[in-house]
Amino acid sequence: MAVDTRLDETIRLALAEDVGPGDVTTTAVVPAEAQAEAQAVAKQDLIVAGAEVAARVFTLMDASLQVAQKIPDGSPATRGDVILEVAGPARSILIAERVALNFLMHLSGVATLTRALVDAVAGTAARIIDTRKTTPGLRALEKRAVRSGGGHNHRFALYDGVLIKDNHIRAAGSISTAVGAVKAEVHHLLKIEVEVTDLDELDEALAAGVDAVLLDNMSLADMAEAVKRYGDRVVLEASGNVTLATVRSIAETGVDLISVGALTHSAPAADISLRFLD
Amino acid sequence: MAVDTRLDETIRLALAEDVGPGDVTTTAVVPAEAQAEAQAVAKQDLIVAGAEVAARVFTLMDASLQVAQKIPDGSPATRGDVILEVAGPARSILIAERVALNFLMHLSGVATLTRALVDAVAGTAARIIDTRKTTPGLRALEKRAVRSGGGHNHRFALYDGVLIKDNHIRAAGSISTAVGAVKAEVHHLLKIEVEVTDLDELDEALAAGVDAVLLDNMSLADMAEAVKRYGDRVVLEASGNVTLATVRSIAETGVDLISVGALTHSAPAADISLRFLD
Amino acid sequence: MAVDTRLDETIRLALAEDVGPGDVTTTAVVPAEAQAEAQAVAKQDLIVAGAEVAARVFTLMDASLQVAQKIPDGSPATRGDVILEVAGPARSILIAERVALNFLMHLSGVATLTRALVDAVAGTAARIIDTRKTTPGLRALEKRAVRSGGGHNHRFALYDGVLIKDNHIRAAGSISTAVGAVKAEVHHLLKIEVEVTDLDELDEALAAGVDAVLLDNMSLADMAEAVKRYGDRVVLEASGNVTLATVRSIAETGVDLISVGALTHSAPAADISLRFLD
Amino acid sequence: MAVDTRLDETIRLALAEDVGPGDVTTTAVVPAEAQAEAQAVAKQDLIVAGAEVAARVFTLMDASLQVAQKIPDGSPATRGDVILEVAGPARSILIAERVALNFLMHLSGVATLTRALVDAVAGTAARIIDTRKTTPGLRALEKRAVRSGGGHNHRFALYDGVLIKDNHIRAAGSISTAVGAVKAEVHHLLKIEVEVTDLDELDEALAAGVDAVLLDNMSLADMAEAVKRYGDRVVLEASGNVTLATVRSIAETGVDLISVGALTHSAPAADISLRFLD
Amino acid sequence: MAVDTRLDETIRLALAEDVGPGDVTTTAVVPAEAQAEAQAVAKQDLIVAGAEVAARVFTLMDASLQVAQKIPDGSPATRGDVILEVAGPARSILIAERVALNFLMHLSGVATLTRALVDAVAGTAARIIDTRKTTPGLRALEKRAVRSGGGHNHRFALYDGVLIKDNHIRAAGSISTAVGAVKAEVHHLLKIEVEVTDLDELDEALAAGVDAVLLDNMSLADMAEAVKRYGDRVVLEASGNVTLATVRSIAETGVDLISVGALTHSAPAADISLRFLD
Amino acid sequence: MAVDTRLDETIRLALAEDVGPGDVTTTAVVPAEAQAEAQAVAKQDLIVAGAEVAARVFTLMDASLQVAQKIPDGSPATRGDVILEVAGPARSILIAERVALNFLMHLSGVATLTRALVDAVAGTAARIIDTRKTTPGLRALEKRAVRSGGGHNHRFALYDGVLIKDNHIRAAGSISTAVGAVKAEVHHLLKIEVEVTDLDELDEALAAGVDAVLLDNMSLADMAEAVKRYGDRVVLEASGNVTLATVRSIAETGVDLISVGALTHSAPAADISLRFLD
């Protein structure tokens, strides 16, 4: 498999952060030759994500560790299920444990929240997508966790998609000026999305020839009207105040995409612990 | 002020992640010479943390940006309050906006949750402390945010404190063997803490001569008994199932410290947005 | 201006490569306190590109150097014109000279070749664009130089645009299968381009619903036919055997884009030297 | 074989530049388990250089790829010859393809141009050598490619050879002062070369006791006179206006070395493509 | 064994420093296919330290080298003893030789000096410990070498132990103020040591509730008095003017620790050379 | 002045090593706003070296610190002399103090030992030079310190000078074969030195046409004979068993250079401390 040097670098930084010049407890207490086996066990129902990352934490710490992933990323685990097994030098397992779990718990938390929202809109045409409101340094992993949860991704970053927001429009003078400027500048494989807050702006955006529209904090009624007017011509993305309680109503307006910052910035960690076997 | 090269590196990675080869929208739409002013505004009541980090994001992106922090880290902001002001080239503000907010929202979230728990134990002797269950790459910032929220820190990492857990004890054979091994190895400025799960283990730990004890998932009654037996001799730390609902009862047992992983791994982001001024 | 840390890193690597532990000649011969002024002079007619980079080389070497760019990137220089002036410690100028010129000569070479092709298609609707056939490590700078020469850019890299090539199609089984797979996976702000080699494949691509088509090594007649069939529906990009001799004929077929690898992989360096003033 | 960490770092930067967060096309279209075989094929007659680098690109991308170099660096390839074969996961080959070819085409271009000049001076005593006019970041590879083409290298950088140029002389006051300063400073294993533009300066340089002289843009007659006067005492290097048309005449003056910046800054890329096998 | 990425990075920097773009001698003289065997031989009696580091230098240079450590770190070697054997490509051994020996000679020098001091206090209760007066970049290795010599370590750095020095006290106003400030701030697993220069300060430190005291440059009589007063309550560390001639007298005062900066900043290199076998 | 990014990187690594996540003592005890002045004072007679490095440590830690170097590198300091003054935030001075002194004490130690040997050969023609037996990571600084002590440098590394040692000769078969191989390979600005152990090898080396000879562990009589035979034709370097006691006798044989590994691998640190002013 292709080595992901970005992932390895992210893990190395996390290990350096936690281990630094050494684990004073483990080095003193655990003999160098001691062997151990341990299991990452779900302490709640959850959707697994980041198990490959956690596995890589162990093997980057010590290439002699044997790691077996028992539940693939994207699958559900029930409380008590074993997600990952690791065996080898006890010191290495103990030293890497916290970093491996920190990745696994956070990313499974993201996937678990995503799945809840995806399930809530089941049967509608709407996709749940993420945003750029990610944890600094962890965007690629969090976006992968969103997919593990059944969600889809928005653009990755500022460089792989055009999203014209209100402040861009203010700087340009109008929606059509902004759209025109983008068309003159960006390469021919990027589509253009514009953020609008009401139906007038929506009409103006469509007139300017955009490919997608972000309906920001609009009422359900206005969203439905937007779908009615342009649902067959452009991609419509709903955004703002999306919760488990509101998401289905939003989906039922007929929008194509519902973007949710909370997927990555507010998902509680999934409860997972490492159990050592005798 | 001393330059924190670790912080700068963390920010540079976050900017590289989001900006990469360039912000295609802003570059196309906003003229290079356009100037702007913007304010980071609280959209909910919160405790500010990470505002210095957010300010540094802007100045690392563009040293000509003028940033003024209006509310210091550790202080409360009420919905509508301005936390930070930034002025200068519009392009630079727009490009750095998301990264600055991602730090600010996450860290203020940590501080806000911490403050809630700290307030809940007001009047008791217990301190709310964090754990090593932090977001990979952000530990130093999150631990600072915990302090902004009125909490205190546990050890920073594996290298600056001894915490003997159940798996260490298993590897060593007994609590006393483990403690003895540590005393023979570590330098003379580190104290020793041991994790125990019942009162028998607690007695054994005290007999081995430890400086602190982590009471893991013990009942309120047992915690109170632990305090009664050893509260004047060692530091007692409670851990496990700590929530806003339970934290005061735990504090009232008389323990010295209550450690809460959720402070850093499950705090929802505080809602903050950047408002551009006309 | 926003600091481009990528550019700085590229320059630092280049300086490290050339200067290493020190310039043994300059250190021995030139007194530390000696001051000098020098001018980067065009030794041929050329289009300036990379002058900002060369200026940054000097200031990264020595922040006390004063650099003035006399001709902006994208403008023509006639043999004998002064492009850049630098003044300050003689040692610093001498040590940075070669690296500054290596960037300036290469990038101006790219811009100069680009301008020749752009001029050759003047009056047609075709844009001259670059490819991913760039010099390893210098892509961002070369793509900027292409724009300085009046050309436009193709996608920057593998991550900001979809281009389905013959080997992708072979792996997928058919054009329509490949296009369908992309539509299910990529985010909604990316368009889809497919490479075709004849008119049958072109028809199949259009039927699959692509946004752009790369006409690879097709005859002028076939390109004209492609324009006739689909010129108003999708972006048509011509590629293969593009030279100064052929480019106008290709443009006159009506294609939208003509991509030229030679812009970045085979442009001869523009002749520029650094002249010291007495 | 000793691992060249500099090479690996150069390749990693190039892969990061092109792949970034991922190849959106290949990931969507090509199944993870698909296998493929491909061949790097010469589309023109050329001298191979950089094939080891291209091979390393593939194995750094994916250690499971099998790469076989069919023609060694420094050997000629005729149009249609297979230079390199690679087999393994189709995704990995497709993702690494462009970077591997970018190195191979550029470096083979350098070797091919070098060979043409070397052949042009066959039978004379002159060696074709490179300069410090290299592509930023690629000097070591380009200098290796020059050797693959039958050329020789000049000093690598500012730190491993003394070359006193006109501006050094100006700063020092005279050739003899400059040479004296160098002799007092540099370690005893470095020779000293001085750049001169006429026979008077040449005489002065020899009187100062240099080991080599760079004859800059001198006439054929003057070069011949220089050889006659000092050819048996010092190394004579010719420089300036060296082309395929002029190089033999220069060589026939009897100079030892002919340095050519164009070898590395203006060699057109050799045409090579990757052909997938069914 | 767990990979120590810090060690690898330290070694890579050292190799880059010495090898840079290549070993011009070895590359020219030694055929690529030549094989060799060599032994690191003690040229004096010494305590081995850093042999694992030297071994890693060879394998990082060339993973095909076979390295066997004949004497473990911490054991004595007599003049003529073989410490390490290496076999494989001759070029790789020759290129890595100097860096491997530079580590081995320095670290064995540290261990050898440490052992001399440790032996000098044999039979007393005093431990010989190091300080933060280490060689920049090599602290972890030097502290490991001190342990190889039978010494113990002081705190690793500024972050894993509290040591209040005279200038801290001056800034705080008094010993008790300083100690109080620390107790309010640092986490509960760090002890507190204060530096004192006479018995009055010692009394004040004890009254403030410190865990350890550094007796700086105090007379033997005063050290003995300090032990008499507080030897059973806190850790007493002696510092200042510690030499082979004085160390035993200091130990016999009854202090617990004797810290010696010279262990790491002034230990002469142990004489070790690499002998090639025929 | 030109920024030495290598130096800055070396210092940053040293600061990271000592400061890590923070100085727990200083942060707790010293108020952020406290100002201080301090002086680096010689505690013994010494030759100053590394004072510029120490100054840079302070300014890299905190750009607001004012640093004044009172005695230039290369000048003597008498016990009690002030070498460096620093003023500004007390925290920053205290945190950077140890790293600054570690550089200054080590490098002044190197210069002081060098000066002793240089003085011992005063009046002879011999130069004292260093070797590649340097501290990993500090070569450039140590070689500069040798010059501060009045010594000269040997080649910097494996890449900027040819030194054929016994193992190279063994691999090549003979001295003349080795020298011939080098002449065919290396660029024309490098001289060639060969290591010999007796007069026969010396004769063979001269016959092969070398530029310099290293006389390894030869007797004074043989060194004198070597000078007699070839002193006017090549550079003669003596090496082996050079001490303060032997160096003058060696110099009086008439050799040009005396290389001493101990300059950099065994120089005791010079005693320097930082004194805070009231």
Q: For residue B85, what are the β-bridge partners?
A: B39, B68
User: Average of pLDDT values for B32-53?
Assistant: 97
Task: Give the mean model confidence (pLDDT) for residues F183-211.
Answer: 97
What pLDDT does E54 receive? Answer: 98
Closest partner residue to F190 (CB to CB) among D152, D190, D256 is D190
Average pLDDT taken over every residue of chain C = 96
- Chain F neighbors (3+ CB pairs < 8 Å): B, C, D, E
- Are E215 and E196 spatial neighbours (Cβ–Cβ below 8 Å)? yes
User: CB A2 to CB D60 under 8 A?
Assistant: no
Mind telling me how many Å the CA of A6 is from chain E's nearest CA? 16
Per-residue pLDDT, averaged over D36-60, amounts to: 98
Give pLDDT tens digits for A92-146.
999 999 999 999 999 999 999 999 999 999 999 999 999 999 999 999 999 999 9
C222 pLDDT more than 70 = yes
**At E82, which amino acid appears?**
V
Sheet architecture: strand order including E257-259: E127-129, E257-259, E235-239, E212-216, E192-196, E162-164
E61: chain D residues, CB-CB within 8 Å? 2-3
Residue C8 is inside which H or E element, if any? Answer: helix C5-19
Q: How many CB atoms are closer than 10 A to CB F219? A: 11
For the entire predicted model, the pTM comes to 0.96
Active site residue C216: yes
pLDDT of D1 > 60? The answer is: no
Phi, psi of D46, deg, nearest 5: -160, 170
Q: Contact, C168 vs D28, CB < 8 A?
A: no
* Distance between CA atoms of residues B163 and E242, nearest Å: 34
Task: Return the bridge partners of A235, or none.
Answer: A212
Question: How far apart are the C-alpha atoms of C114 and C140, rounded to whole Å?
Answer: 16
Tokens found for residue C74: 């994208």
How are beta strands D257-259 and D127-129 bridged, if at all? parallel
E41 touches F at CB < 8 Å: no
C159 contacts D20? CB cut-off 8 A = yes
- A5 neighbourhood in chain D, CB within 8 Å: 12, 15-16
Is pLDDT at D3 greater than 90 in this prediction? no
As to burial, measured by CB atoms within 10 angstroms (0-12 exposed, 13-18 middle, 19+ buried), residue F76 is middle
Identify which of B120, B101, B50, B51 has the alpha carbon closest to the alpha carbon of residue B260: B120
- Residue E164 sits at the vertex; the CA angle it makes with E160 and E168, to the nearest 5 degrees, is 125
- State ipTM: 0.97
Spatial neighbors of D178 by CB under 8 A, at least 6 apart, are C29, D164, D168, D169, D171, D172, D194, D208
Rounded to an integer, the average pLDDT of F45-60 is 98
Tell me how far apart the alpha carbons of residues C134 and D13 are, in angstroms, rounded to a whole number: 13
Measure the CA–CA gap between C14 and A217, rounded to whole angstroms.
Answer: 49
Q: How far apart are CA D26 and CA D23, in angstroms?
A: 6
Out of F6, F12, F79, F165, the active site residue is F165
Q: What average pLDDT score do residues B88-104 get?
A: 97
pLDDT at residue A133, as a whole number: 98
From chain C residues 164-183, the ones with a CB under 8 A of any chain A CB are: none
Contact (CB, 8 A) for E235 and E206: no
Closest-CA residue of chain A to B171: A30
- Over residues B179-184, the mean pLDDT reads 96
Half-sphere exposure of B32 (CA within 13 A, CB side): 2
From A183, A175, A248, select the one nearest A214 (Cα to Cα): A175
Check if A64 contacts E (Cβ < 8 Å).
yes
| Interface contact F129-D189, CB threshold 8 A | no
Work out the angle between the directed axes of helices F5-19 and E139-148 (0-180°, nearest 10).
50
Integer-rounded Cα Rg, in Å, for chain C is 23
Whether chain C has a CB inside 8 Å of the CB on D197: the answer is no
Which residue among C28, C90, C132 places its CB closest to the CB of D182? C28
What's the rounded Cα separation, in Å, for the pair E188 and B162?
10
Q: What integer pLDDT is reported at residue B127 of this predicted model?
A: 98
CA distance B17 to B13: 6
- The pLDDT tens digits for C232-254 are 999 999 999 899 999 999 999 99
Count of B-C CB contacts under 8 Å: 22
- Cβ contacts (< 8 Å) between B27 and chain A: which residues? 185
* The token pair that represents B165 in the structure block: 């857990």
3-state SS of chain E? CCCCHHHHHHHHHHHHHHHCCCCHHHHHHCCCCCEEEEEEEECCCEECCCHHHHHHHHHHHCCCCEEEECCCCCCEECCCCEEEEEEEEHHHHHHHHHHHHHHHHHHHHHHHHHHHHHHHCCCCCCEEECCCCCCCCCHHHHHHHHHHCCCECCCCCCCCCEEECHHHHHHHCCHHHHHHHHHHHCCCCECEEEEECCHHHHHHHHHHCCCEEEEECCCHHHHHHHHHHHCCCCEEEEECCCCCCCHHHHHCCCCCEEECCHHHHCCCCCCEEEEEEC
Q: Do F171 and E102 touch (CB under 8 A)?
A: no
In chain F, pLDDT over 70 holds for what percent of residues? Answer: 99
Q: CA–CA separation, E132 vs E153, rounded Å?
A: 10
Q: Give the helix/strand (H/E) hosting B69.
A: strand B66-69
**Residue A2 scores a pLDDT above 70:** no
User: Tell me, what DSSP letter sits at residue C121?
Assistant: T
Average pLDDT, chain F: 96
* Phi, psi of F143, rounded to the nearest 5 degrees: -70, -35
Q: Is the dihedral angle over the CA atoms D91, D92, D93, D97 positive or is it negative?
A: positive
From residue D53, give the alpha-carbon distance in Å to each of D69, D98, D101, F122, F185. 11, 13, 10, 53, 22
Query: Is E34 at the interface with chain F, CB within 8 A?
Result: yes
Is the separation of the CB atoms in C257 and C129 below 8 Å? yes
Q: Compute the radius of gyration of chain D from its Cα atoms.
A: 23
Q: What is the pLDDT of residue C2?
A: 53
**Structure tokens that stand for C37 in this block:** 């002024």
Nearest CA distance, B157 vs chain F (angstrom): 10
Nearest to C3 among B16, B22, B63 (CB): B63
State the Cα angle at A255 between A252 and A259, rounded to 5°.
105
A211, C193: Cβ pair inside 8 Å?
no
Q: List chain E residues with CB under 8 Å of A64.
A: 1
Q: What is the pLDDT along chain E (278 residues), one digit of tens a residue?
A: 455 778 999 999 999 999 999 999 999 999 999 999 999 999 999 999 999 999 999 999 999 999 999 999 999 999 999 999 999 999 999 999 999 999 999 999 999 999 999 999 999 999 999 999 999 999 999 999 999 999 999 999 999 999 999 999 998 999 999 999 999 999 999 999 999 999 999 999 999 999 999 999 999 999 999 999 999 999 999 999 899 999 999 999 999 999 999 999 999 999 999 999 97
Q: Is B106 on the interface with C (CB under 8 A)?
A: no
What is residue C3's predicted lDDT score, i.e. its pLDDT?
53
Q: pLDDT tens, B117-137?
A: 999 999 999 999 999 999 999
- B2 and F60 within 8 Å at the Cβ level: the answer is no
Residue of chain F minimizing CA distance to C91:
F2
CA distance E140 to chain A (A): 7
Q: pLDDT for C132-169, tens place per residue? A: 999 999 999 999 999 999 999 999 999 999 999 999 99
CA distance A134 to A117: 17
CB contact under 8 A, D140 and E21: yes
Rounded CA separation D90/D36 (Å): 5
Question: What per-residue confidence (pLDDT) applies to D2?
Answer: 53
Best mutation target, A127, A155, A179, A187, to test chain C (most C CBs within 10 A): A187
pLDDT on residue B183: 95
Is B195 an annotated catalytic residue?
yes
Residues across chain C: 278
Per-residue pLDDT of F6-34, as tens digits, reads 899 999 999 999 999 999 999 999 999 99
- Taking CB atoms and an 8 Å cutoff, what residues of chain C touch D5? none
Q: Are A259 and A239 in contact (CB under 8 A)?
A: yes
pLDDT at B278: 79
Task: Look up residue E267 and give its DSSP letter.
Answer: P
pLDDT at A4 over 80: no
